A and B are shown apart, each in its own frame.
Chain A
């Protein structure tokens, strides 16, 4: 799906730009975008270098493992295929807590560290595992208690109560995170079951002919 969206955006932009005589801007934006990509990464370097260093200390001291064991019962439900005492659990939890507190600077390195730990459990290094997809779903929806940036902006423009959007934000983020978890669950289940088993479940009866007709589970759809 990423392939299609990426290609689609580029091709559509060129066609649309051509039709509207905006080729110059499109060309400019292509290289401007590339530059933005590098700039963002350069900004990430300092954060990643610092936190990865600090987290190595936490790991060596046994803190990550301790955190994993402590919170495993809570996170295990979301990540059934990760062993409870695996370091990934500790990083997943740190990532979720940092997100919750609106600490974006810390959340990203911890999330990346969690991904790297999950990658160690991955039999196919270029294909995402279900656990990785769940972690990503949690991060794209990002449960946030205090949206600090937006409160600061509202304060700048003289809002009566700059923080009055905290309640609706919390409500919206809970709903969208719930939706992300449910959708993730759904795809996870659909992709795990072999087609024949799926067909039997859907049909409700064991019919050898039905195994041919079900819609293929789109495991390769990414």
Chain B
């Protein structure tokens, strides 16, 4: 099953890249000119995101460097340990919505330290894989079209991250048992 999914995901892109121009050619679309024309927009879009990402990354970088992130983790650690969540995974609950690269580095480090088949590593892997970086997605998607008032989107994203965190712990309990 997994290998089938993996084959599908490696084949989709090349097949798509070949299929779209072929189909368009048959419908008499000047494919290369159209490609260049559309690609121009991509450049502008990417440049337009820069101010949004710079603003966000600056705040995140400062937050981590000042040690405030670690302090925050220290505050909620006892509460979560009380309900049996491995404390090594905790920083991830805060890192995951904020920084994708940072949380990936954290998970890699945890896997290296505790071995890939430890309970904490599995929970961390599940958290990393099951959700996306909320703040990044919000910044990029809304930044690309110039939305400044995100309304309730951030609350929804963070809420689903929180639910996802507990769901990941519960799913690992359910499927691997307490190791």
> Chain A interface (Cβ within 8 Å of chain B)?
1-2, 5-6, 9-10, 12-14, 16-17, 20, 22, 25-26, 28-34, 36-38, 40-42, 44-45, 48-63, 101-103, 105-106, 108-109, 111-112, 115-116, 118-119, 125-128, 132-133, 135-137, 139-142, 144-150, 153-154, 157-160, 162-173, 175-177, 179-180, 183-184, 187, 191, 218-222
Q: Measured between alpha carbons, how far is A31 from B55 in the docked complex, in Å?
A: 10
Specify the main secondary structure of chain B where it touches its partner: helix
Can you list 20 A-B contacts (CB < 8 A)? Answer: A13-B65, A17-B66, A22-B65, A53-B38, A56-B35, A57-B29, A57-B38, A112-B45, A136-B137, A136-B150, A136-B157, A139-B137, A140-B138, A142-B131, A144-B130, A145-B5, A160-B116, A179-B164, A184-B156, A222-B154
Contact B13 A103 (CB under 8 A): yes
Q: Measured between alpha carbons, how far is A167 from B170 in the docked complex, in Å?
A: 12
Query: Count of A-B contacts with CB under 8 A?
Result: 379
Interface centre among A32, A58, A144, A146 (most CB of B within 10 A): A58
Q: A57-B31, A126-B149, A140-B137 are in contact. List 17 more A-B contacts (CB 8 A).
A: A1-B154, A6-B59, A17-B67, A34-B61, A41-B46, A41-B49, A49-B42, A61-B24, A101-B9, A125-B147, A136-B156, A140-B132, A142-B137, A149-B104, A165-B126, A168-B176, A218-B152
Within 8 A of A (CB), among B117-166: 117, 121-122, 125-134, 137-138, 140-142, 144-157, 159-161, 163-164
| Distance between B171 CB and nearest chain A CB, rounded to angstroms | 4
Q: List the B side residues contacting A57 at CB < 8 Å.
A: 20-21, 24, 29, 31, 34-35, 38
| Distance between B78 CB and nearest chain A CB, rounded to angstroms | 20
